[in-house]
Amino acid sequence: MPAFTHGADHEQAMTKAGVLIEALPWLKRFRNRIIVVKFGGNAMINDELKRAFVQDMVYLRLAGVRPVIVHGGGPQITKELKIRGIESEFRAGYRVTTEESIDVVRDVLTDQVGAELVDLINEHGDLANGIAGHEHSLFIGERMIKHIEGERIDLGLVGNVTEVDPQRVIHVLAADRIPVVSTLAQDGGDIEDDGSGLLNVNADSAAAALAIALDAAKLVILTDVSGLYSDWPTASLSSRSSIPMSCANSSPVLSRE
């Protein structure tokens, strides 16, 4: 009598079952808790990874976790600037943002990246709402000043988040939906009635600020960067050293007050 063998579908099902079993303690621990997830890296430009990310977020939501997605849009912004004939410039690791390019940043983040994520999530049901970071006073910021080797670096309309009003995000969560937040801030020193005075803010920093404001149980950074650097951006690529995760909690920059 021939021996019974399992097919590829059976092996795949067993793998998925194993993952679900391993996830049970984590799901129990974070049930009804807020998890802020910063979406970035190759997943932003790879359709397969993008859909896998969306499925994970929907799974968390249906399993009782309350995910909040915060996204940037670096690759898409660069592409759109090129299409419009606007040069991209980076200094000290940040995109120099002009009055001309800030409109592109806003359009890409809200109308392209954020809208696509919301649409992909809502393919699984009416589950997501997009939120622009510069609206509802969600993110208020101030212009960033960088000094590299004694030289003042002018980054234009690039800022740090100084204030967070999470009420709009809390409202969306209360409706059992997934907030999808773009990372523009209103310039606290240049608030105009016409909605101008925008700042381009780093998505990692914005996600961290929002996580604190929401008293989130966890902040997850999805990225393709190799790690945290102790000397970015002053050293050459070959001499940069990454920080072991065991040391991250002891860093005064990373520690929560």
Q: Tell me: the pLDDT tens digits for 92-111? A: 777 888 888 999 999 999 99
**62-75, pLDDT tens digit by residue?**
989 999 999 988 88
Q: Quick check: is 3 in a domain? A: no
Q: Given pLDDT bands bounded at 50, 70 and 90, which one contains residue 222?
A: confident
3-state secondary structure the chain: CCCCCCCHHHHHHHHHHHHHHHHHHHHHHHCCCEEEEEECHHHHCCHHHHHHHHHHHHHHHHCCCEEEEEECCHHHHHHHHHHCCCCCCEECCEECECHHHHHHHHHHHHHHHHHHHHHHHHCCCCCEEEECCCCCCCEEEEECCEEECCEEECCECEEEEEEECCHHHHHHHHCCCEEEEECEEEECCCCCCCCCCEEEECHHHHHHHHHHHCCCCEEEECCCCCCCECCCCCCCHHHCCECCHHHHCCCCCCCCC
pLDDT at 212: 96
pLDDT at 3: 53
Q: Quick check: is 45 in a domain? A: yes
**130-165, pLDDT tens digit by residue?**
999 999 899 999 998 877 777 787 888 999 999 999
Q: Which tokens hold the place of 254?
A: 């990373």
Query: How many structural domains is the chain composed of?
Result: 1
Mean pLDDT for the stretch of residues 168-187: 96
Range of the domain at 85: 30-222
pTM of the shown model: 0.79
> Percent of the chain, pLDDT > 70?
76
**180-199, pLDDT tens digit by residue?**
999 999 998 754 444 468 99
pLDDT at 250: 46
Which residues, other chains included, contact 84 with Cβ-Cβ below 8 Å and sequence gap of 6+? 104
Burial letters for 91-121: b for 16+ Cβ neighbours within 10 Å, e otherwise?
Answer: bbebbbbeeebbebbbebbbebbbebbbebb
Q: Is the pLDDT of residue 27 over 80?
A: no
Burial-class residue 80 by CB neighbours within 10 Å (0-12, 13-18, 19+).
middle
Burial-class residue 166 by CB neighbours within 10 Å (0-12, 13-18, 19+).
buried
Compute the distance between CA of residue 224 and CA of residue 40 in angstroms, rounded to an integer.
8
Q: Quick check: is 65 in a domain? A: yes
Domain containing residue 85: CATH number:
3.40.1160.10
**195-212, pLDDT tens digit by residue?**
468 999 999 999 999 999
Q: Are 77 and 104 in contact (CB under 8 A)?
A: yes
Residue 228: what residue type? L
Relative to beta strand 139-143, strand 158-164 is: antiparallel
Q: Quick check: is 243 in a domain? A: no
Q: Given pLDDT bands bounded at 50, 70 and 90, which one contains residue 223?
A: confident
Of the two residues 73 and 122, the one the predictor is more confident about is 122
Q: Quick check: is 75 in a domain? A: yes
pLDDT at 256: 40
Cis, peptide link before residue 233, omega less than 30° from 0:
yes
